[in-house]
Amino acid sequence: MAKLLLVEDQEALLQSIRRGLESEGHEVATATTGKEALAIATNEPVDMMILDLLLPDGTGLQTLAHLRRQGFHHPILIVTALDSVEDRIIGLDAGADDYLIKPFAFGELLARIRALLRRESVKPDTTLQFADLKVELLSRRVLYNDREIQLTRRQFELLEYLVRHQEEIVTREMLSQDVWKSTTATWTNVIEVQINQLRKRLRDIGAPSILHTVRGEGYVLRNDP
């Protein structure tokens, strides 16, 4: 089952929903403020968030907007007493995936959670990872131990390809065809130049030596020499 983050400032309702979700097999983390929610969503793996809008330290919309800016792409279900059409439009336009009005039947909450998790399960991967290196495809950001690496467009495409083929030897012909979309890159030094620049960017951010040249064959992304 999924790990859900439940954000609700009414303690009795929070515990009631938590117990119900846990009885369905879900793991549930709870928060009563936007600040707590941001800390959990940023530092723990979360599959989905259930978010109240009326929080003691601000509106849930502020929390929602902040998470989306930070690259949180998992489903967010707003659960709130704000029931006007305008409120629903604002919430959905702010980045929520669904909107449920209080009071609600618990069965409907479960059905909406199942629907959002099904939708999430068929999404293509938006983040690639190799050890402590993350490649975020939607935002085109690269992070090593949560420190961002500044790359050119070509360097990003090159690293993305290498991460997709991690632990495999990638030939110059493969890179020329799949990354450069050209046959000329194999007989110029353009690939080697970009590989060396990418190595330097990784080294400057503190990454270990992970991009290796295999003499006579190509390149490989792996932890061991």
pLDDT given for residue 177 in this prediction: 87
Top mean-pLDDT range of 49-58, 113-122, 203-212: 49-58
Question: Looking at residues 118-147, what average pLDDT do you find?
Answer: 84
pLDDT given for residue 225 in this prediction: 58
User: What's domain 3-121's superfamily in CATH?
Assistant: Response regulator (3.40.50.2300)
pLDDT given for residue 120 in this prediction: 73
Domain range annotation of the chain:
3-121, 127-221
pLDDT given for residue 155 in this prediction: 93
Task: Please tell me which residue, 78 or 185, carries the higher pLDDT value.
Answer: 78
Q: Which of 28, 35, 34 is nearest to 14 (CA)?
A: 28
Question: Looking at residues 71-76, what average pLDDT do you find?
Answer: 87
Q: What CA–CA distance (Å, rounded) separates 87 from 70?
A: 23
Question: Looking at residues 148-155, what average pLDDT do you find?
Answer: 91
pLDDT given for residue 163 in this prediction: 94
Residue pLDDT, tens place only, 52-69: 999 999 889 999 999 988
Residue pLDDT, tens place only, 158-175: 999 999 999 999 999 999
Please tell me the class of the 127-221 domain.
mainly alpha
Domains 3-121 and 127-221 belong to one CATH topology: no
b/e sequence 191-205, b meaning 16+ C-beta within 10 Å: beebbeebbebbeeb
- Helix H or strand E encompassing 194: helix 190-204
